[in-house]
Chains A and B, each alone.
Chain A
Amino acid sequence: MAQSLKRPALGPVDPDALLAPGLTNTEVSRKLAGIPMIGPRKTPLGWLTGFAFALLLLMVYLTAVAWLLIQGVGIWGINVPIGWGMDIINFVWWIGIGHAGTLISAILLLLRQKWRTSINRFAEAMTLFAVACAGVYPILHLGRPYLFYWMLPYPSSLGMWPQYQSPLEWDVFAISTYATVSLLFWLVGLIPDIATMRDRSTNPIMRFFWGFFALGWRGSAKHWHRYELASLLLAGLSTPLVVSVHTIVSFDFAIGQVPGWHATIFPPYFVAGAVFAGFAMVMLLMIPVRKFYGLEQYITMKHFDLMAKVTLATGLIVVFGYAMEAFFAWFSGNQYESFLLNMRLFGPYAWSYYALLLCNFLIPQVFWFKWARQSIPVLLFVSLVVSIGMWLERFVIIVVSLSRDFIPSSWGYYNPTIWDWLLYLGSFGLFFTFLFLFSRFVPMISIFEMRMLVNEQEGSGHADTHGAGAGTGAQPAAAD
């Protein structure tokens, strides 16, 4: 049956289109469900190579974690006064990357932005894996990581309870809620697509497997109605959630009295920074994946154009945050704040501040030009630069502020050790291992939402309403 479905001829993709013309429901279901359904012997060599490399990095990660658990945090470069180093930098960096996925899947759904359809599944998966990478760091940086469960409120023999006035305790609740809700949102989105895979599967074992996880989804109108309602409600819940999570992460700093941290601009500027870094990461990952799996008909240049615009806009909010930090330092007249600004601009870490401005302020400005937003090499380069820039931002905030204590006798300089770097490098192994498994076993583009988009595209060619016969005949009858 499936073999007789002819692949329709597809025209060149218009740079302003969200979807290639001429796609049908049949073709969308065949192509997108087909990617994860190929047999084990047909696994692409490129995938195997990439996965092997990811596993190698994962081994680096496990080694770095194991050595840390054996030796303790002394193997890292942190010391008084710089008690937070790459562990917290990487935590904030990874969690920030994750936020783009929630933004795409939730906020853009509420705003009825159709362009999210092609990228939301992938971006949400990226969120999950980035949160997994982020969540490990705060646990590892505890002096005694094996006692991390003391942060949870349970009736213990100590008779003690967690300190709910601490932003670090808020983190526990915020991050775990964020991870849980993101996972649920993602799994709910998968149910109809797993049903498609169940129905397309010819292998009885895989049919049983997909059938089990599809929960018996049959596409009933009443089910769809409730499903859409639940998606909308989840989007409405995730939107304040994502804002609250990065706000709470910024409270880790803003509640403290360290110069350079104690600023009311932190929550909005952190949230914008998270979206900035996240969109850059989505582009950085999506460009090679799109090329490798031949998804140019589904992820068009229009998507990259829009993502580049979001990156530019949020980048400017971040730059506004930097300007305000400097303004507060001057306007407050506080000697510690102005000293810190002086340290950022002319101190021993001045290189990191100028590199940050180059990466997050100057280079992303090329996105004002359409040719830059339409050029794959430029998009890749700027995304990479922004990812580095956002890492540097956390470095500037954490390390520069901590290195200059209130008393000059306790000033210090932070030198990360090899174990700091290996743990960071290794966390990419964790991230990419998940990402490769995801791209192999799960449809990377939401199939049912693409079918909706195909239907709308067909409908818009005829009468715009649900009126008589709109769309009839536009869909070629598939041979049975």
Chain B
Amino acid sequence: MQNIFRRRNPVRSATAVPRAAVPAPLYGLIGEFRDADALLHAAEAAEAAGFTKLDAFSPFPIEELAEKLGHKRDLLPAIVLTSGLAGAAGGFGLQWLTQVVDYPLVVFGRPPFPWPAYIPITFEMGILFAAFGAVFGMVLLNGLPQHYHPVFNAPNFDRASQDKFFLVVEANDPKFDINRTREFLLAQHATVINEVQQ
């Protein structure tokens, strides 16, 4: 049974009985790199070679790596701005609707529509909803939670969250050819290259 949270230990699964004669469909080729710079160069070269279905995996964020893989503009800032403005408008609207429209109450002879007193809550609501936008926007745009992904099948991939760097060329890339892609990754000084099953 496929463990959906983590692939099995590669050493153990190598000794296991082969499941079926029919090979699982190929997801792509994965190359392992020693450090961030090697990965960055490989990503740059892959983009220059015309590959489009690429992804890189690293234990920490690497500046410019996503840009080099063709990830240009992001929707997230727009989501944060919109949700923040909506939160602020909602906060102000809440106070205005309840205290001015629904139940006007004169306290200490203060004005009937004391808008300056509404600023703190308006501000807090704006921040709260912008933060919701940033957190949930990031998680959902990243397609998380996604507990299964083919790349978890790659040998040694548990090191991607610790100390190893990986580049995947997907099999559905128009330029993908298993032998030539393997040679390409080798030319980029990948230390190990493996096939990844779906």
Residues of chain A whose beta carbon lies under 8 Å from any beta carbon of chain B: 1, 24-26, 29, 153, 159-165, 167, 169-170, 173-174, 177, 180-181, 184-185, 187-188, 192, 195-196, 198-200, 207-208, 211-212, 215-230, 233-234, 237-238, 240-241, 244, 248, 251, 448-449, 451-452, 455, 458-459, 466, 468-472, 474-475, 477-478, 480
Whether A173 touches B142, Cβ cut-off 8 Å, given contacts A29-B162, A207-B6, A221-B62, is no
Dominant SS among interface residues on chain A? helix
**Residue B36 is within 8 A (CB to CB) of chain A in the complex:** yes
State how many angstroms separate the Cβ of B20 from the closest Cβ of chain A. Answer: 24
Chain B 20-45 interface residues, beta-carbon cutoff 8 Å to A: 34-38, 40-41, 43
6 A-B pairs with the lowest CB-CB distances in the bound complex, closest first: A211-B5, A225-B66, A230-B138, A199-B158, A25-B163, A215-B145
Q: Which residues of A contact B151 (CB under 8 A)?
A: 218
Q: How far is the CB of A302 from chain B (nearest CB, A)?
A: 21
> Which of chain B's residues 127-154 have a Cβ closer than 8 Å to chain A?
127-128, 130-132, 134-135, 137-139, 141-142, 144-149, 151-152
Report yes or no: A237 in contact with B134, Cβ–Cβ below 8 A: yes
User: Which residues of A are found within 8 Å of B94, using beta-carbon distances?
Assistant: 153
Closest to B63 in A: A466
> Is A241 a contact of B127 with CB atoms below 8 Å?
yes
A475 to B157, CA, bound (A): 19
Complexed CA–CA distance, A212 and B55 (Å): 23
Q: Choose one: B34, B127, B135, B160; the contact of A240 (CB below 8 Å).
A: B127
- A/B pair count, beta carbons within 8 Å: 222
If A26-B163, A220-B55, A220-B56 touch, whether A230 touches B135 (CB-CB below 8 Å) is yes
- Contact B149–A472 (Cβ < 8 Å): no
CA distance A478 to B35 in the complex (A): 12
Interface flags for B157-175 (1: CB within 8 Å of A; 0: not) read: 1111111000000000000
Q: How far is the CA of A233 from the CA of B76 in the complex (A)?
A: 9
On whether A218 and B57 interact (CB within 8 A), knowing A229-B76, A471-B37, the answer reads yes
| CB neighbours of B193 from chain A (8 A) | none
- Of the residues B43, B128, B147, contact of A180 by C-beta under 8 Å: B128
What residues on A are CB-neighbors of B77 within 8 Å?
229, 233
Partner of B61, one of A162, A169, A225, A474: A225
Which residue of A has the minimal Cβ distance to B137? Answer: A230
Q: Which residues of B contact A448 (CB under 8 A)?
A: 59-61
B65 with A161: CB separation less than 8 A: no
- Most chain-A CB neighbours within 10 Å: which of B60, B103, B110, B145? B60
User: Could you list 9 further interchain pairs (A-B, Cβ under 8 angstroms) beyond the known A227-B61, A237-B130?
Assistant: A169-B121, A177-B124, A198-B161, A199-B158, A216-B148, A226-B74, A229-B74, A233-B77, A244-B124
